[in-house]
Amino acid sequence: MLDAKKLRNDLDEVKEQLKKRNEDISALDDFTELDHKRRNIIQEVEELKSKRNTVSKQISEMKKAKEDASEAIAEMQEVSQKVKELDEELRQTAENLTHLLLTIPNIPHPSVPQGEDEDDNEEIRQWGGTPSFPFELKAHWDIASELNILDFERASKVTGSRFVFYKGLGARLERALINYMMDLHEDRHGYIEVLPPYMVNRDSMTGTGQLPKFAEDAFQIQEEDYFLIPTAEVPVTNMHREEILTDEQLPLAYAAFSACFRSEAGSAGRDTRGLIRQHQFNKVELVRFVRPEDSYTELETLTGHAEKILQDLQLPYRVMNMCTGDLGFTAAKKYDIEVWLPSYNDYKEISSCSNFEAFQARRANIRFRREAKGKAEFVHTLNGSGLAVGRTVAAILENYQQEDGSVAVPEVLRPYMGERDVIR
RNA sequence: GGAGAAGUACCCAAGUGGCUGAAGGGGCUCCCCUGCUAAGGGAGUAGGCCGUUCCGCGGCGCGAGGGUUCAAAUCCCUCCUUCUCCGCCA
């Protein structure tokens, strides 16, 4: 959510900034009118309430003095009726205004390259080069089925398409990665470990920006107004919804492992094979609450924490600075980390590291105070995958495949794999 | 899931319709007093949000949302959370 005061003062400038996103922002045209209407009603209704408060007190005194107050009471009956009508009108107007604000995307940071779509994203750096294979390489789903460590067929029988059973050393590899990532972030990068709820309520989904605009991307629980989390970002960021943090608490950093659930609406036919696009997948998510002035150096720190995993795993990757047209609704700036997938002969997103500035904090009302008596300010929130576990498994299977069909185990994972050095 | 009880400020807590724009404690901050400390005395402690003609004024705030009333922490309804007991369960 953007700052209503900023929209009031610099609407044209905001529009100019948002145009770069290549998105429909015509809803903003109604802002000024709604904002004025709201403030006019407030003035009118508060004047009446003030009068009512004063006269009510007089009525009380008149009654005590045994005077006749019926005239004043009759008058206040009318005032109260009017107040009721105006309050309703105000509620309606404020709701419209809030809804409008909730559907306007974040303003891109000046360091975000301007562009229309993913082709305009800017490569920041590469790591690890691209490996060549002296034999015919296989896609991870073929490697996995030959090793009997992933079972897509039975998962579609038991549930449906885009679900998977991990089996044997496949399941072990997934679990090893989760433990490896969590240990690293907790022990070396200073994150507090969190195991969050996998369902959240509507306010939480609104706080981080999944609702109201992107309802079709989420799975919703029928009996309750709950949603399966599409990422641990939602429960973890919302942990501090409606809170005022102290300055000493910042920067506050959480690492959370969770399953993630996405309906993948509109992705029919894309990445249909393998682990890349599932309705349920595991992810380790890093979430940071920081002082506004620190958020851009924090974004670099956060991205570095995610990159460290890939470096330890010796997986080639590149870091992309997402352009204005590919930024996503909530981010002011976003780096995608893309891992090399030999079967795609291309890089594929494995982590997304974003600075939301105050966009989520304003929606979720997460603030901090620099001094005990100081004014509460919005924090900046950031998050990034560290990493998507399923895609990491895919990358390991493909990059570590060997001619005989086996897969070498990355060295850092061996302690987590019962000291095995190969999956065969 | 059933039955009961409770949600008031940083914490505890009084409060059954109008001097409650919330008593009283505790804690915290500042001051006084006594070599230091403890004890004692005094003052402050509703923040937050919203509006505004912004060193001021006004509105809303007693779990949340509605309702009754000239007037609601107080009466009524719905919901949420916590606690106790029962049931079920990993």
Predicted confidence (pLDDT) per residue in A234-292, tens digit: 999 999 888 888 888 889 999 999 999 999 988 888 898 999 999 999 999 999 999 99
Q: Is residue A97 part of a domain?
A: yes
Q: Is residue A110 part of a domain?
A: no
Nearest DNA or RNA nucleotide to A38 (CA to C1')? B51
In the block, tokens 């080639």 appear at A316
In terms of Cα–Cα distance, which of A120, A153, A124, A131 is closest to A22? A120
What DSSP designation does A248 have? G
Strand B contacts (Cβ < 7 A) comprise: A 4, 39, 42-43, 46-47, 49-50, 52-57, 59-60, 63, 73, 76-77, 79-80, 84, 91, 375-376
- CATH of residue A71: 1.10.287.40
* pLDDT at A241 (0 to 100): 87
| CB-proximal positions of chain B, under 7 Å | 18-19, 48-52, 58-60, 66-71
Distance in Å, residue A420 CA to nucleotide B59 C1': 69
Q: What is the mean pLDDT of chain A?
A: 93
Q: Which residues contact A179 (CB under 8 A, 6 or more apart)?
A: A416
Q: Which of A75, A102, A129 is the last residue of a domain?
A: A102
* pLDDT at A71 (0 to 100): 85
Instruction: Provide the percentage of residues in chain A whose pLDDT is more than 70.
Output: 100
* pLDDT at A404 (0 to 100): 96
Confidence grade of residue A88 (pLDDT, cut at 50, 70, 90): confident
* pLDDT at A9 (0 to 100): 87
Distance in Å, residue A80 CA to nucleotide B68 C1': 13
Distance in Å, residue A323 CA to nucleotide B62 C1': 49
Q: Give me the number of domains chain A comprises.
A: 2
Confidence grade of residue A55 (pLDDT, cut at 50, 70, 90): confident
Q: Where are the alpha helices (DSSP H) in A103-232?
A: 140-147, 152-158, 168-187, 202-208
Distance in Å, residue A372 CA to nucleotide B36 C1': 29
* pLDDT at A53 (0 to 100): 85
A169 and A275 co-located in one domain: yes
Nearest 5°: phi and psi at A245?
Answer: -85, 160
- Contact call for residues A227 and A199 (beta carbons, < 8 A): yes
ω before A197 within 30° of 0 (cis)? no
* pLDDT at A84 (0 to 100): 87
Nearest DNA or RNA nucleotide to A64 (CA to C1')? B18
- Reported as type and span, the H/E element at residue A136 is none
For residue A373, pLDDT over 80 is answered with: no
pLDDT digits (tens, 9 = 90+) for A123-171: 999 999 888 999 999 999 999 999 999 999 999 999 999 999 999 999 9
Confidence grade of residue A50 (pLDDT, cut at 50, 70, 90): confident
Distances (CA, A) of A335 to A40, A91, A306, A351: 43, 39, 11, 8
Q: Is residue A376 part of a domain?
A: yes
For residue A69, give its domain range.
4-102
- CATH of residue A182: 3.30.930.10
Q: Is residue A262 part of a domain?
A: yes
For residue A5, pLDDT over 90 is answered with: no
Q: Would you name the residues of A annotated as active-site residues?
A: 262, 277, 349, 352, 391
Output the six-digit token pair for A38: 């709201």
What DSSP designation does A409 have? P
In terms of Cα–Cα distance, which of A422, A407, A321 is closest to A140? A407
Distance in Å, residue A185 CA to nucleotide B79 C1': 40
Nearest DNA or RNA nucleotide to A74 (CA to C1')? B70
Q: Lowest mean pLDDT: which of A119-123, A189-193, A343-347, A375-379? A: A375-379
- Contact call for residues A218 and A205 (beta carbons, < 8 A): yes
